[in-house]
Structure 1
Amino acid sequence: MRPSQRYGTEGGDSALSETADRSAERNNRVIREIADRVIPHQAEFAEGLLASIITDMPSVVPDREYRDMLRVSVIENTMVLLDALRANVDPVSISPPPGAVTYARGLARRGVSLADLLRIYRVGQAQFTGICLDVADGLDEANDLRAVKTVIDTVATYLDHVCECITVDFEEERERWIHSRSGLKQHWISRLLAGTVADTAEAQRAIGYPLSGTHLAVDAWIIADRAQVTASVEVLDRFHDLLTTAAARASTVSVHTDEAAMTIWVSLREPERNLIARLKALLDADPLPVQVATGLPGDGVDGFRCSYDQAARVRKLAESARPGPPQILTFADVAPVAMMTGDVAELRYFVGATLGPLSADTERAHELRETLRVYLACNRSPAAASERMMLHRNTVTYRVQQASEELGGTPEGVDQFTVSAALEVCRWYGSSVLCAPP
């Protein structure tokens, strides 16, 4: 080969290399621009994903603590992924963020399936990819399909990698949980609640509790500083002792649902009201920072499960109630409202259509709603309502008059059944069914 030919070839290779470098640089610039445009939408994306998961997969967000844990996991995963896109980092080299690991291990201890956990990531992948494509659509170089494809591939590779790592953490935690004494008990109780136990006798032996009797589920949770885990465990253990005393040494079985909450089943030998009365007296004498919710008594395995579901509904109402509930709240206390659980949007529509301006989420509207609610509950007696609310009778009369005018009528003309139902919904569901202030 002649020197001129050799040099010409090398010059061509150099030109190709420079072209490739410029192409790669432009590709990375477009990817960074896409990531930068997603950043302002991080919070909106996280809340949207959280809302869809709560609606479609309630088992992975059993309570407020797990909702917060999921939010942290979503936010941390989003931040890590955006950083990887901006810095052109190999996603396989990244460890799962701490919040994702904590949430996965928590679900493992709750008996949630691995399939449900991985489904969260698939839903997140679809929604995150969608928002990346949305912001890329407005770029000058959006027609650079190579950059868009790289973004999609990076998102998929990162989530595949995280799912592999999370699966290992989840299965190891599940194995530790099942082989621990409390974990084994909770494993069987989770199966009882899911209706997947074929041999009731085997489950009964495993949890050390008779399943053939009448059961009352009792939820108890800390209402003080949840950060003091050691103190929380001691408080819950003390509550368990008080409940056992109130139950006159009847059989019980309990599981800690997290560091600051537990569920206890009591095998009843007497009317529920007797047990509740004794428990209330014991808590009055030995105040504990706990809130208590109970279901209705139920027979057999179905009753075991049904009473638990009812107690869980009551707990949700207790946590959103305004004003706050009594320390012990039973399903019988709130049965009509508790059975309305499901479609909060439908309840919000009912409240707005029934109460009009009184459905506003303001302090003034709250005062009028609560006064009218108590007034109607007291058979429209201002004297009885003032005594219950510890207000002057004239104050009650004035507020009732104002509330009635907001409803477009007089105190005597209020439709007691419909209005009372709407007011009770407001009382127990709080801001979730109220309208934003005008």
Structure 2
Amino acid sequence: MAESDSDRDTVVATTVADIIGRLQGRMPELTRHTQRILVGEITELRTDPKLLELLGDTVTANVETVFAAMRNDIPLKQIEPPAMALEYARRLAQRDVTSNVLVRAYRIGHQAILETMLTELRTCELDAEAALDATVRMTSGTFEYIDWISQRVITTYQDERDRWNESRNYVRASHVRDLLADGDVDIDAATMAIRYPLQRIHLALVAWCRESSRGNETVLLEQFIQRLAKAIGAGEACLYIPDDRLTAWAWIPFPPDNPPTSMARIREIVAGSDDSPFVAIGRPLPGVAGFRRSHQQALEARRVALSDNTRADRVIEASEPGILLAGLLEENIDSARRWVGEVLGPLANATENDERLRDTLRLFLRSGSSFTAAATELHLHFNTVRYRVGRAVERRGRAIDDDRLDVEVALMLCQLLGPAVLRES
């Protein structure tokens, strides 16, 4: 009997290891599936493209860690928590997301991974008792990991939360977040609380940078914002609020008789330094409503910038044609991608040739369907433009007379959102 039990244990262990091996070969698919479930179930996790990207990395790191521990029978006390998981906990603490959200995310993620493992188990040819033993092994192994990692990320979250609450900008940031929420505002009281003139014209910015080895990103962002405000002629002190360690919000005030009229100086300053952050800029707008709306525009412009990893320009303006529309559609990027594909057909493929054809067609339509005007703007021969436009229409598969507006919008989205709305060739 003991030998039979030993044989069964071997079969179960081999089966579980085989299931984990198959799932490790499908890690990108498994990560995307789990992330979609988490974002669909927990609205607080959808707030920022950078956080969504870090969430995907965190899911991958956790799944790889638990799979490795189970497959190789490594005790949890002998492994380290994934760095991505700890960093994600810190970011949520910095964003005022409650610890309950973090705990719930791990529970839902556990359920999603376990269900996937059990689905794989159904394809194995095991008798009922062995299948039950395998189920118990997978359930207990994943549960022990979730219990272990949850304690560690919550500890990290609380430590970061305490540190963040004690930072010099926290109270001010709390008032600003309250101010950004819709509702009536006592302007004088709010101005005193945040030490910023709310009755001015406001130019809102969102600045962000990559992580550096020095670890002083927040200080560098604040110094950059102060330098920027001084350079473009702000008469009063700007408002700087760290959103997290790598991202900052800012508002630059201007008196009514001296509104900002050009972004050229901002672009000049950003271009003048190799280590300048990325900057998204709202429109200059007055009063409390303008304070809120300019900030929202900057956030939407940033969303567009983050959607295209190939984007070289470190400045993006909400006033640029199509930016705010693209920002709205980026929130539902899967639907936007499908719609672009339906409108443009093969012309929406992510190839260099299709990109040339799209750019030519876009400028041709923007120029009032003038081959001459498009050729001048593109610095190409008239016949080259005519040929490319013809090829673009051929790639699309149908004429553009009946749905020209749709075509123009789809081409604009390809230009602004890049690979996020293109199809793999």
TM-score (norm 2): 0.83
Partner of residue 432, structure 1:
420
Aligned pair in 2 of structure 1 residues 45, 359: CA closer, same or farther (>3 Å)? same
By how many angstroms is 1:366 displaced? Answer: 0.9
Partner of residue 131, structure 1:
116
Aligned pair in 2 of structure 1 residues 344, 148: CA closer, same or farther (>3 Å)? same
Are 1:388 and 2:374 counterparts? no
Aligned pair in 2 of structure 1 residues 307, 398: CA closer, same or farther (>3 Å)? same
Q: Secondary structure at 1:388's aligned position in 2?
A: helix
List aligned pairs for 1:179-258, cutoff 5 A: 179-193=166-180, 204-222=191-209, 226-227=211-212, 234=220, 237-258=223-244
Partner of residue 151, structure 1:
138
Which moved further from structure 2: 91-100 or 152-161?
91-100
Residues 99-148 of structure 1: CA deviation (Å, up to 9, x unaligned):
21121112211222212222221221111111121122122335221331
In the alignment, the residues of structure 2 paired with residue 134 and residue 140 of structure 1 have an alpha-carbon distance, to the nearest angstrom, of 13
Which moved further from structure 2: 366-375 or 134-143?
134-143
In the alignment, the residues of structure 2 paired with residue 379 and residue 322 of structure 1 have an alpha-carbon distance, to the nearest angstrom, of 31
Aligned pair in 2 of structure 1 residues 28, 291: CA closer, same or farther (>3 Å)? closer
In the alignment, the residues of structure 1 paired with residue 375 and residue 311 of structure 2 have an alpha-carbon distance, to the nearest angstrom, of 19
Amino acid at match of 2:231: T
Partner of residue 107, structure 2:
122
In the alignment, the residues of structure 1 paired with residue 420 and residue 235 of structure 2 have an alpha-carbon distance, to the nearest angstrom, of 40
In the alignment, the residues of structure 2 paired with residue 314 and residue 385 of structure 1 have an alpha-carbon distance, to the nearest angstrom, of 27
Residues 140-162 of structure 1: CA deviation (Å, up to 9, x unaligned):
33522133123213322321232
In the alignment, the residues of structure 1 paired with residue 389 and residue 263 of structure 2 have an alpha-carbon distance, to the nearest angstrom, of 34
Amino acid at match of 1:396: V
Which moved further from structure 2: 321-330 or 395-404?
321-330
Which moved further from structure 2: 364-373 or 36-45?
36-45
Q: Secondary structure at 1:96's aligned position in 2?
A: coil
Bigger Rg, structure 1 or 2: 1
Partner of residue 305, structure 2:
318
Residues 192-232 of structure 1: CA deviation (Å, up to 9, x unaligned):
4456998876664453223454433212334xx75455696
By how many angstroms is 1:384 displaced? Answer: 2.9
In the alignment, the residues of structure 1 paired with residue 282 and residue 106 of structure 2 have an alpha-carbon distance, to the nearest angstrom, of 34
Aligned pair in 2 of structure 1 residues 325, 424: CA closer, same or farther (>3 Å)? farther
In the alignment, the residues of structure 2 paired with residue 229 and residue 171 of structure 1 have an alpha-carbon distance, to the nearest angstrom, of 24
Residues 20-74 of structure 1: CA deviation (Å, up to 9, x unaligned):
6666555545544444443333332123222333455464365454344333322
Structure with the bigger percentage of helix:
1
Q: Secondary structure at 1:376's aligned position in 2?
A: helix
Residues 262-281 of structure 1: CA deviation (Å, up to 9, x unaligned):
32112332475525344345
List aligned pairs for 1:8-407, cutoff 5 A: 28-57=13-42, 59-60=44-45, 62-88=47-73, 91=76, 96-141=81-126, 143=128, 144=130, 145-193=132-180, 204-222=191-209, 226-227=211-212, 234=220, 237-270=223-256, 273-274=260-261, 276-280=263-267, 289-320=276-307, 324=311, 328-333=315-320, 334=322, 335-407=324-396
Q: Secondary structure at 1:274's aligned position in 2?
A: coil
Identity %: 26
Residues 400-426 of structure 1: CA deviation (Å, up to 9, x unaligned):
232234445678x47542321121111
Partner of residue 421, structure 1:
409
Q: Secondary structure at 1:181's aligned position in 2?
A: coil
Aligned pair in 2 of structure 1 residues 338, 407: CA closer, same or farther (>3 Å)? same
In the alignment, the residues of structure 1 paired with residue 88 and residue 46 of structure 2 have an alpha-carbon distance, to the nearest angstrom, of 10
Q: Secondary structure at 2:263's aligned position in 1?
A: helix
In the alignment, the residues of structure 2 paired with residue 99 and residue 323 of structure 1 have an alpha-carbon distance, to the nearest angstrom, of 24
In the alignment, the residues of structure 1 paired with residue 208 and residue 403 of structure 2 have an alpha-carbon distance, to the nearest angstrom, of 37
Preserved contact between residue 136 and residue 142 of structure 1 (Cα < 8 Å): no
Structure 1 unpaired stretches of 5+ = 1-14
Aligned pair in 2 of structure 1 residues 308, 86: CA closer, same or farther (>3 Å)? same
Tell me the C-alpha RMSD between the 2 structures. 3.6
In the alignment, the residues of structure 2 paired with residue 55 and residue 103 of structure 1 have an alpha-carbon distance, to the nearest angstrom, of 18
Q: Secondary structure at 1:401's aligned position in 2?
A: helix
Partner of residue 9, structure 1:
none
In the alignment, the residues of structure 2 paired with residue 421 and residue 373 of structure 1 have an alpha-carbon distance, to the nearest angstrom, of 9
Aligned pair in 2 of structure 1 residues 132, 197: CA closer, same or farther (>3 Å)? farther
Amino acid at match of 1:150: R
